[in-house]
Structure 1
Amino acid sequence: MDFFDQYLKEQISTGVLILIVILSRTVVSKLVRRYAKTSQIIERRTNLVIKYINILINILALITLILIWGVQAKDIFITISSIATVIGVAMFAQWSILSNITSGIILFFSFPFKIGDVILIHDKDYLVEGEIEDIGAFHVTIRSKEGEVVIYPNNLFFQKGISIIKKPTNNNNDFTD
């Protein structure tokens, strides 16, 4: 019983933190889904953004929980900076993965094109024209007129010019100019 009496403040704070995490995850999920519904964004992309935001909320909650239970802030920052350094060095070679994930989130919120749009990517070496079939976390899948499937990394959409040639109409699968 001594443990429960000695750490009552920490236990109450932990309970409040858990409630805040549950509430914030629920609110954020509803807000992102509402935004996606008004923008007609695909459910798969919505779930991906919610997943990333929930990971961020969980990391922040873990840091707060560690602070609640008495670990010194300077020790946390030393640990986080050491972990960030190791991850940074390890991920330096994989910068494109992080770049593609970030680009995928930006594409989700800026919504310049959607599945079904016919686009032309202005690449001096290899022009890509086709219909967007899927927009994922790392890449966009495009089907050319010849039936060729082209996988284009998300980060390249911010480095190349893109023309939206045709958008699908709301009534059927016909395209408008």
Structure 2
Amino acid sequence: MKIALIVTLLAAFLIFSSFVSRAIERLGRSKSVTLYRVKYISKTVRLVATILFFILLFLVLGIEYSQVSLFLSSVFAVIGIALFAQWSILSNITASLIIFFVFPYRVGDRVKVVDGDDDICGRIEEISLFHVIIKRNGDLITYPNSLILQKPVVKMAGQCPPEEHKDPQKEQKARKDGQDTAKDEEASA
């Protein structure tokens, strides 16, 4: 009886895994996503499905829940500590999954990332596992996935406005002059 159930679970897992992989590939083609990203997302989803399959398999084999949960909690604790030590990697990978499914911009789109005083405007060259590469005036800018989800992104209809080149010495002098003016006003008051 258990063998038939295990074979059924294995068949269901293989069918589900194949179906999900094909669905992700179709979604990737419809969104014009690179093959690298499609394979990455597909592998991630298959990994989660494999973990769930083994949990079900352990339960079917009669291994007690407490033994399975102890083993899994130990594994996840080690993984959690390792990922906490590298939280930026984990946040970029998570952002990569979100970008794959819901990011409204594609490779080739002209965008502007609104980032305080230093807006980044250019054409998306690549969306990878950890970052989005934007080409601006011949320069390649690497922008982390986790940050691009936190900043407003504008899809530009035309060309980006010309880039202003700031002179750090002039900016420093302007700040100093502003501070001197404020001190003069305080002294006269």
- Name the TM tier (shorter chain): 0.7 to 0.9
TM-score, L = length of structure 2: 0.76
Is the helix fraction higher in 1 or 2? 2
Aligned-partner Cα distance in 2 for 1:143–1:39 = 20
Q: Which residue of 1 aligns with 2:145?
A: 154
Aligned-partner Cα distance in 1 for 2:136–2:144 = 16
Q: Where do 5+ consecutive residues of structure 2 fail to align?
A: 160-189
Q: Which residue of 2 aligns with 1:19?
A: 11
TM-score, L = length of structure 1: 0.81
After superposition, what is the alpha-carbon deviation per residue over 1:22-78, rounded to whole angstroms, capped at 9, x for unaligned?
100111122222333333333332222111111111111111222222210111112
2:71 aligns to what SS in structure 1?
A: helix
Matched residues, number: 159
Is the strand fraction higher in 1 or 2? 1
Q: Which residue of 2 aligns with 1:37?
A: 29
- Give yes or no for the alignment of 1:70 onto 2:62: yes
After superposition, what is the alpha-carbon deviation per residue over 1:71-119, rounded to whole angstroms, capped at 9, x for unaligned?
1011111221222222222221211112111111111111310001111
Q: Conserved in 1, the CA contact under 8 Å of 2:115 and 2:151?
A: yes
Q: Conserved in 2, the CA contact under 8 Å of 1:117 and 1:166?
A: no
Aligned-partner Cα distance in 1 for 2:35–2:78 = 34
Q: Which residue of 1 aligns with 2:127?
A: 135
Aligned-partner Cα distance in 1 for 2:30–2:17 = 20
Q: Percent identity?
A: 33
Question: In the alignment, residue 145 of structure 2 is paired with which amino acid?
Answer: N
Q: Which residue of 2 aligns with 1:119?
A: 111
Q: What's the Cα RMSD here?
A: 1.9
- Give yes or no for the alignment of 1:48 onto 2:40: yes
Q: Conserved in 1, the CA contact under 8 Å of 2:31 and 2:106?
A: no
Q: Which residue of 2 aligns with 1:165?
A: 156
Question: In the alignment, residue 111 of structure 2 is paired with which amino acid?
Answer: I
1:91 to 83, 88, 94: 83
Give, in angstroms, the shift of residue 125 of structure 1.
Answer: 5.0
After superposition, what is the alpha-carbon deviation per residue over 1:113-148, rounded to whole angstroms, capped at 9, x for unaligned?
000111111112533222111111111111111x21
Question: In the alignment, residue 154 of structure 1 is paired with which amino acid?
Answer: N
Q: Which residue of 2 aligns with 1:4?
A: none
2:106 aligns to what SS in structure 1?
A: coil
2:74 to 82, 85, 90: 82
Q: Conserved in 2, the CA contact under 8 Å of 1:118 and 1:132?
A: yes
